[in-house]
Chains A and B, each alone.
Chain A
Amino acid sequence: MDMQAKSPKLGIKERYALLTRDLGWEPSYQPKERIFPYTRYEGIKIHDWDKWEDPFRLTMDAYWKYQAEKERKFYAIVDAHAQNNGHLNISDARYLTALKLFLQAISPGEYAAHKGFARIGREFEGVGTQVACQMQSIDEIRHAQTQIHAISNYNKYYDGFHAFAQQRDRMWYNTVPRSFFDDAMTGGPFEFITAIGFAFEYVLTNLLFVPFMSGAAYNGDMATVTFGFSAQSDEARHMTLGLECIKFMLEQDPDNLPIVQKWLDKWFWRGLRILTLVGAMMDYMLPKRVMSWKEAWQIYGVENGGALFRDLARYGIRVPKGWEIATESADHVSHQLMLGLYQWSFGTAFHAWIPTDEDMEWLSAKYPDTFDRYYRPRWDHIRKMEAAGTPYANVGLAQLCNVCQLPAVFTEPGDPTRHCHREHEYKGEKYHFCSDGCRDIFLDEPEKYVQSWLPMPQLFAAPNFGDVGKWMDWVGLVPGQDNGDYQNSRDKASFEAWKRQASAS
């Protein structure tokens, strides 16, 4: 009887070649320019798409297998968390503010990234690039889904989680990350991947995920830690894709350098502005803190980012514009934004509070040059108003920056006692900015940013005409439940009552 010889298993390299690169073909009915009409207009010149390297060499079949396994583990843990009242294991209900801010502001970005990568996966010409973008697109929608499941668990018990989609579109602080992603998605495919794949995923992601996930772990939120771990292995791939894309553009043609540098300048600054929200979270919202924003910037920005840009210097890339200002402002921005979030907490779907003595001691130790000198006097005054029975609420609304869309809380570089005022007139209309960084982004593409949908000016236009009550309804904010000071909140009362019940039984 003849023995049937088993066909040898394919090596990784061969598998990758067959299941990735071999999926492409040379078109014969249509010119490439018509099949891929968006890869030239940004000015980036690519001569050989096959030079694209995929260091992971992941094929779709292996991808599905890994992801399915992670998915099963993730949902097993999330189910256990739900069944065992895992929400009562968090350190303190103040932690929920950090979680709400993350889920309201950042999670929609995962979905936006999914849409963007799906689109550029179609728009890019090279097969290696297309497959890598397709995988990232699927990763991102998976991250959005896992985070929305986290919302759904917490929404059963706490306020502020119930109007995710409405708040994503309309809530004023959520337009900060939303405008970031809209800006990226309305760029071409190369700008998009520089913005999201490199500036956000590579340069800044550690400043977002590490503090947030460690914060969740320190504060007993195992459901969030689980989605963090589940996403982390994807992030490594995303970072590599972003870096590879930058190197690919720079190696393909020397004319690409000034365009790439301009995008790095822009997207570093836009990303840094979003991370102000993370800074406020790290310094003020975690009952058990991980590290200060300033320390995180020192480690992940100055040290890691600095090393990255030294590495990229051989292509002619320099550190992004605004890098030094970022370092100086790391001593200030979290305090400046948190003072804002506290005084505008009538308009936020999370609670804020006056830092306790213990909090202020920590802030003073972490910010020895600035907290006591500039920020403690304001908190002390706010505390005095509270004690006098006239708690501080800023009943005015804030001027927003026309580019980053944050309230203009930032001060003049070198002078933390004065707001930074920047304005520019374009075609008879005036525009205001929080910084030189944001103003320069406007000046480069004014036609784009005249379209900024700024929530504060819009509150005064149709359909709300300055009526804050109507506005709350429109953004999905239930006054007296979702907003205001933590001390009087239903979240605090419920959490404490349930904890007592759990320890009594």
Chain B
Amino acid sequence: MPVAAIGEYEFAPRDHAGLYGDNQIVYFCWEGHLLFAAPFITFVPRDVTLGQYLNDTIRPLLGPDPDAVALNWATAQWSNGPAPFTPDFDATITDNGIGHKDKIIMRTPGLCTLMPDS
């Protein structure tokens, strides 16, 4: 539905890629690890590899979780929003198909110390 308005109603989005220079916003969630109260927002250069991004930006954030030591990127399951993808850790974030404001969701079945067994 269009907005009910008294005139033309069209405005630029407030968080479009142009505002962030060579960087982009990437959201990251470790599914089921709710010690982290919400998914993370991160700010990252587009040309880093996915492996660099995970090791340099994400790993330090996940440290407080009791399962962080047992975490292995290679065996985790990945999706970009609802769409599963196979990561190439040596390729850039962009080449992994991760665009501005995309959300990476990582699942590690079996690793869930702080959650009740279902």
* Residues on A facing B (Cβ under 8 Å): 37-38, 41-43, 188, 336-337, 339-340, 343-344, 373-374, 377-378, 381-382, 385, 392, 394-400, 407-409, 411, 417-419, 421, 423, 427, 429-432, 444-445, 447-448, 450-454, 456-458, 460-462, 466
Contact = CB atoms under 8 A, between A and B. Distances in A.
Interface in B80-113: 81-82, 99-103, 105, 112
Given A431-B101, A450-B13, A456-B41, 9 more contacts: A37-B6, A336-B37, A377-B115, A378-B34, A381-B66, A417-B32, A417-B34, A421-B105, A423-B103
B27 A396 contact: no
Contacts of A378: 34-35, 114
Contact of A41 (B5, B12, B29, B105): B5
Contacts of B114: 377-378, 381
Contact of B11 (A373, A450, A458): A450
Contacts of B105: 421
Contacts of A456: 41
Contacts of A377: 114-116
A419 B34 contact: yes
The 10 closest A-B pairs by CB, nearest first: A340-B37, A398-B38, A407-B38, A396-B40, A450-B13, A399-B39, A430-B101, A457-B15, A396-B61, A460-B43
Contacts of B49: none
A91 B116 CA distance: 36
A468 to B, nearest CB: 12
Interface of B: 1-6, 9-16, 19-20, 23, 25, 27, 29, 31-32, 34-43, 60-61, 64, 66, 81-82, 99-103, 105, 112, 114-116, 118
A121 B102 CA distance: 44
A444 B1 contact: yes
Contact of A395 (B9, B41, B61, B103): B61
B1 A408 contact: no
Contacts of A394: 36-37, 61, 64
Contacts of A423: 81-82, 103
Nearest to A341: B37
A398 B16 CA distance: 18
Given A381-B114, A394-B64, A343 B37 contact: yes
Contacts of A398: 37-41
Contact of B103 (A42, A399, A457): A399
Contacts of A381: 35, 66, 114
B6 A408 contact: no
Nearest to B35: A378
A490 to B, nearest CB: 26
A390 B99 CA distance: 35
B28 to A, nearest CB: 8
A429 B101 contact: yes
B74 to A, nearest CB: 23
A266 to B, nearest CB: 12
Contact of B38 (A188, A340, A392, A454): A340
Contact of B40 (A337, A399, A444): A399
B96 to A, nearest CB: 16
B18 to A, nearest CB: 10
Nearest to B11: A451
